[in-house]
Amino acid sequence: MFNKKQFGAEFKWGVSTAAYQIEGAHNIDDKGFSIWDTFSNQNKKILGNHNGNHACDFYNRHEDDLKLIKYLNIPNFRFSLSWPRILPSGIGTINQKGVDFYDRLIDHSMELGVTPWVTLYHWDLPQMIEDKGGWTNRDVVSWFSDFVEVCANKFGDRVNNWMILNEPMVFTGAGYFLGIHAPGRKGLKNFIPAVHHAALCQSLGARVLKSICPNANVGTTFSCSHLEPNTSSEKDKLATKRVDALINRLFIEPSLGLGYPTDDLKLLDRIYDYFLPDDEKLLPFDFDFVGLQNYTREIVTHSYFVPLLQAKLIKADKRNVPITLMNWEVYPDAMYQTLKKFDQYSQIKKIIVTENGAAFHDVFFDGKIEDELRANYLKDHIREVLRAKNDGIKVEGYFVWTLLDNFEWAEGFYPRFGIVHTNFKTQERTIKKSGYWYKNFLDNK
Ligand code: FCB
């Protein structure tokens, strides 16, 4: 077995959440609607027709939930700010009640000695901005910068750790290309401009933040999967390269000054149509840390049937491997390989694993949840982080996804990722075995 000490005293341990997935209170205290309020309240968009209107009611229960974090010995808490709770129209008038909520959350957290780590954008775009074109409208860059300015001015006196965007590849890909996430738009004509504007917001948001809070620890987060070709054929290898450019390299490389990976991904060529003269210079930003979010490995095969990309992923349940409820393969080595891959970018100063976790079918028995599979998943992945660290890879933190079972986007409340169980009828919380495992691990001084 390994213990916490082996990671060093400076290593950041935490737990991650996101506003829309836990807060609920969707129409309380003058909050504006987000694209997720709209999308999840439409028929048949979300599994089981669920929506996040009430979610975990974290808006009203955050004091108790913070105590739970404290009880679990978790020193760092990652949460996101709901843009339409703070600016109901996306721009303009500030909603003081929304600011008050985050003030309470930050203050209570700090009173308990739990350090806040704030994500500025975790997918809940104000609906009024979407009505003006959302991420496809270039103006989103200045609207987002204004939002960042408000947040830095309001909370920057207490919050030191910031993340600009959560997984831009997922919110542009699922939301503006595949249409399976809010706002449900499809096609390259939406995806390509959304990518470029999100990449600009990633760096401009960071600049705004640093200009107001020069000492802040500023990062941003990326979804990344370890990829392997299905066979050693040249076709599968090239297909893997294209998928890698799309899902792992698309947002990190422009931020590092390497530009978009257009050489390996021809479908991106049209992105230059959306460039203004100075954009090349605006895309890079020297982040203090990069947040990596890895859950699995993917196997890639060449496919003539997928237009432009000519590649597809072989679903885990077709591969005879252990899987989670998301149909993601359980493959801890993926964590090590991902850290190693990103470590090779010499421009990255520090890596923090800002999400990792698993959804399994939990069974309540005798008032307890013995979620052995989740506890093992966490142990096995944390062990891989240690292996990476011991190999000299610059990984300096690990955050579990997630504290509470919550609203898992298109999958509704079905996949439970929490180390704490949520009873969605009574809002009762029950710490799972995985939660006790993390608590004991973190207690080991
Ligand atoms: C990530 C998201 C997070 C959660 C996990 C399971 O892609 O950032 O909100 O849904 O996956």
Q: What is the CATH number of the domain that holds 325?
A: 3.20.20.80
Please check whether residue 429 is in contact with residue 94, taking contact to mean a CB–CB distance below 8 angstroms. no
Q: Whose CA is nearest to atom 4 of ligand 1?
A: 408
State the Cα–Cα distance between residues 194 and 267, nearest whole angstrom: 14
- Residue to probe by mutation, ligand 1, list 293, 327, 360, 411, most atoms within 8 Å of CB: 293
How many angstroms does the Cα of residue 223 sit away from the middle of ligand 1? 9
Q: How many helices (H) and strands (E) does the chain have?
A: 15, 15
- Directed axis angle between helix 188-212 and helix 140-155, to 10°? 30
Residue 355 alpha carbon to ligand 1 centre in Å:
8
Q: Is the distance from CB of 134 to CB of 195 less than 8 angstroms? A: no
User: Do the Cβ atoms of 253 and 264 come closer than 8 Å?
Assistant: no
Read off the pLDDT of each residue in 96-123 and give the average, rounded to a whole number: 98
d(CA 119, CA 110): 17
Tens of pLDDT, residues 348-362: 999 999 999 999 999
Question: Can you read off the two tokens belonging to residue 171?
Answer: 């919110």
Is the distance from the beta carbon of residue 326 to the nearest atom of ligand 1 less than 6 Å? no
Alpha carbon of 22 to ligand 1 centroid (Å) = 12
Q: Are strands 76-80 and 115-121 parallel, antiparallel or unpaired?
A: parallel
* Local confidence band at 182 (pLDDT 50, 70, 90 cut-offs): very high
Q: What is the pLDDT of residues 286-312, one digit of tens each?
A: 999 999 999 999 999 999 999 999 999
Per-residue burial over 243-275, b = 16 or more CB atoms within 10 Å of its CB, e = otherwise: bbbbbbbbbbbbbbeeebbbeebebbeebeebe
User: Ligand 1, residues 124, 167, 374, 406: which to mutate, most atoms within 8 A of Cβ?
Assistant: 167
Question: Above 70 in pLDDT, residue 247?
Answer: yes
pLDDT (tens digit per residue) in 214-234: 999 999 999 999 999 999 999
* Ligand 1 contact, 165 CB (< 6 A): no
Please indicate whether residue 38, judged by its CB atom, sits closer than 6 Å to ligand 1.
no
The pLDDT value given to residue 68: 98
Of the pLDDT bands very low, low, confident and very high (cuts 50, 70, 90), residue 445 is low
Instruction: Find the 398 Cα to ligand 1 centroid distance in Å.
Output: 15
State mean pLDDT over 227-255.
98
Q: Name 69's Cβ contacts closer than 8 Å, sequence gap at least 6.
A: 15, 77, 109, 112, 114, 403
Tell me the pLDDT of the chain averaged across its residues.
98
Tell me, using a 6 A CB cutoff, whether residue 355 lines ligand 1.
yes
What is the length of the chain? 445
The radius of gyration of the chain's CA atoms, rounded to the nearest angstrom, is 21
Catalytic residues: 167, 355
Interatomic CA distance for residues 108 and 112, integer angstroms: 6
What is the value of pTM for the model shown? 0.98
Determine the residue of 409, 413, 416, 417 to mutate for testing ligand 1's pocket, defined as the one with the most ligand atoms within 8 A of the Cβ atom: 409
395's enclosing H/E stretch is strand 395-401
Provide the sign of the torsion angle of the four alpha carbons 35, 209, 116, 110, taken in this order. Answer: negative
The answer to whether the CB of 401 is under 6 A from ligand 1 is yes
- Selection from 300, 268, 90 nearest residue 177 by Cα: 268
Q: Give the model confidence (pLDDT) of 408-444 as tens digits.
A: 999 999 999 999 999 999 999 999 999 999 999 999 6
- Please answer whether residues 255 and 283 qualify as being in contact, where contact means their C-beta atoms are separated by less than 8 angstroms: yes
Closest ligand 1 atom to residue 408 Cα is 10
Measured distance CA(51)–CA(36) in Å, rounded? 8
| Residue type at 420 in one-letter notation | V
pLDDT range class, residue 12, cuts 50, 70, 90: very high
Q: Which residues pair with 171 in a beta bridge?
A: none
Q: Which of 324, 328, 325 is nearest to 314 (CA)?
A: 328
Beta partners for 290? 220, 351
Q: Per-residue DSSP letters for 163-223?
A: EEES-HHHHHHHHHTB-SSTT--BSHHHHHHHHHHHHHHHHHHHHHHHHH-TT-EEEEEEE
Helix H or strand E segment including 147: helix 140-155
Mean pLDDT confidence for 318-341? 98
CB atoms within 10 A of CB 391: 12
Domain, as residue range, for 139: 4-442
User: What's the number of domains the chain is made of?
Assistant: 1
Indicate which residue's Cα is closest to atom 9 of ligand 1: 18
Say if ligand 1 is within 6 A of residue 408 CB. yes
pLDDT of residue 1: 86
Contact 223 CB / ligand 1 (< 6 Å): yes
Three-class secondary structure of residue 420 per DSSP = strand
Is residue 136 reached through a cis peptide bond, with omega within 30 degrees of 0 on the bond before it? no
- Which ligand 1 atom is at minimum distance from the Cα of 170? 7
What is the share, in percent, of the chain residues with pLDDT greater than 90? 99
